[in-house]
Amino acid sequence: MIGTTTSHYRIIDKLGEGGMGVVYKAQDTRLERMVALKFLPVELAGAPAAKQRFLNEARAASALNHPNVTVVYDVGEAESRPFIAMEYVEGETLKARLRSEPLTIEQVKAVALQIAEGLHAAHGKGIVHRDIKPDNILITRDGTVKIMDFGIAKLRGDADMTQTGMTLGTLSYMSPEQVLGDVVDHRSDIWSFGVVLYEMLARELPFHRDREAAVLYEILNREPTPIEFHRPEAPQVLRSLIQQMLEKNAERRPASIAEVITQLKGATTGQMAAQGVPAKSIAVLYFENMSSERESDYLCAGITEDIITDLSKVGELRVVSRTDMLPFRNKEINIRQVADALRVNYVLEGSVRKSGNRIRITAQLISARDGYHLWADRFDGLVEDIFDVQNEVAHKITEALKVSLTDKEEESLARKPTDDLRAYDFFMRGREYLSRRGKKNTEAAVRMFENALGIDQRFAAAYAALGEACAYMYEWYDGAAEWLARAIEMNQKALEHDRGSVEAQFGIAMVYYHQQRFAEAKRTLLGVLDADPRHFLARLRLGMLAERTGDLESARTHYQSAAELRPHDDDPWRFLAALHRKTGDLRAAQDAAMNVIEITSRKLEASLEDVVLLSRLAEAYARFGGKEETNAILRRVLELDSSDGLVLYNCAAAAALLGEQDKAVLFLRRAFESGFRAVAHAAQTDSAFAGITQYPEFTRLVAELG
């Protein structure tokens, strides 16, 4: 047809061809403009249903006048072949764009917002597109997005042209109701748009298999791999939105495309949601080691953590915990993005340079809203002056934020943990090992704390830390009674030297917990919270205690409170995922598991060989039925360390969730043999094992080890 004229349109070139039409570039000889001329294929021109559907597209699109929808100029017929004259747009389809290059998060949001605006215009006219896919989305050279091809659109009031059980659309983008041939409305477009949004981020479809039957099954029965597996940097708002849009039950999707637009606008990177962010909230980035020797890394970590600890003693401040800061350690970061992620208004960054016994510390307090420095200073002195420097930094920050210190807070900040810098050196090394977790690191932490106490036998914080390490050895890695006895002794000595030591009081509560003296454990934990209402571990353990004694509602409350205290810690979300599964709230369980995946993935960027985190990530993926992802992570875990009792228990939970009964039982036995003596009780109360409780081998193992 190239070179011929149809009506007053001179055909210049062929642009493309699809199941419902052939499209040509043509010149409108009357108005002297380029158009896209779409013809019904010859083989369908005589089919009444196809002809009606083709004209339906013209009616649907011509009812719309919106910059994100292609404009229909005219409709006609030539030699018994209907045609539509449409706006000619130079650009490429979204499908072609995705094949050529990945989109940035900002580009995804920009495209998605325009698609949403176009759909909003269509839905406002009572038009459901029913075939939203990258092939039908055009991106112009200036970045404008146009929705095309309303060929199977349904108009409000029209009879559906499908027969019972007949489906129209492109399979991988179809909603469950579309797949089943049920009546569809605007929420079907929201599903298809969710698939497109997922594909823009992941560069693969959420439901994709070689056979159509397998794709149908996935659409109806399976949850897609969480988007953060492909794009861990995707904002939480965007991840949550995709999850909502891909709800299999249309009632649980966003009620309208307007809701989608609102959430997309709220997903802007760098846009801090002021609502809910405490005014005097601060994150302390790990200080950078500017020294020539790498061994000073632990010193930088220790200084950072001590400043966090000091600031946390100030009731008027909200300080991000050490564990929540770990994912940002040793990374090039953007201050605004850190503040957005951690929901704070201020960020402290600094550096440490050590040369011999001299040390230089620089620090600057930055407002995340405008990037301006509120305060900056440099401290030069001897290493033995480090406590005075840390104290001065804490005071400068409180002054910059106009915080008034109470006498008790002043006294607490002025108190030195020890007078011997050598003991403090070992103490900081021990804390560094303990923070890395795992059996080998915990054993190394024990040695460091012992060295510290060998130098300063009045070092209360070192006694409490040694008690904590011994309790972890007893709970997760060894199970020998000697560890628990030593934990008791260390915490008692800590209290002898510092009667107000909250950490020692918490350590005593843990001893009660392990001795199953639950009433005393609860009373002591509540005392810890009286002394420090923001004590995360006390709140978390109260949840564990409540769950163990059957008070599931109190357990949920405590876990949620812990999550509020440290929203970027995976522990409370892990317990919530298991608890919700136990109570039958599978949606809430999946939401919690999604948070675990998000948090652990981010933390693993800072420590790729953290076997505890990896094993938790495997368990979280298993809750979504992600067999391939789970088994890949489990293989990596076992390559790194196959002798850690806690890690092996987490592996058992992941296997159980996948229904791999023999593997789960094997992991449980290995966990017990590696020192995790509470395997039997944990497995009986952990909802991850609910699917294998009737398996004979599991029953025998529990009876044997219980």
User: What are the C-alpha distances in Å from 408 to residues 347, 399, 415, 499, 536?
Assistant: 25, 17, 11, 15, 21
Contact 176, 248 (CB under 8 A): yes
Establish how many alpha carbons lie within 13 A of residue 284's alpha carbon, considering only the half-sphere containing its beta carbon: 27
Token pair 């930094």 is found at: 393
CA distance 419 to 104: 52
Which positions ≥6 away from 632 have C-beta within 8 Å? none
Q: Of residues 13, 28, 74, 131, which has the active-site annotation?
A: 131
Token pair 């790729």 is found at: 608
CA distance 535 to 523: 15
H-assigned helices in 22-104 = 48-62, 94-100
Six-digit token string for 147: 């929705």
Residue 166 burial (CB count, 10 A) = 9
Q: Can 551 be counted among the known catalytic residues?
A: no
Q: DSSP for 359-425, please give it.
A: EEEEEEEEETTT--EEEEEEEEEEGGGHHHHHHHHHHHHHHHTTPPPPHHHHHHHH--S-S-HHHHH
Six-digit token string for 423: 């003991």
Element (H, E) at 82: strand 81-87
Torsion sign, CA atoms 42, 44, 48, 49:
negative
Which positions ≥6 away from 429 have C-beta within 8 Å? 298, 448
Token pair 């040509």 is found at: 24
| C-alpha 13, offset from chain centre | 48
Taking CA 668 as the corner, what is the angle to CA 666 and CA 672, rounded to the nearest 5 degrees? 120
Contact 141, 91 (CB under 8 A): yes
CA distance 55 to 150: 10
Six-digit token string for 50: 């196809």
Among residues 485, 567, 554, the alpha carbon closest in space to that of 525 is found at 554
Residue 102 DSSP label: P
Catalytic residue IDs = 131
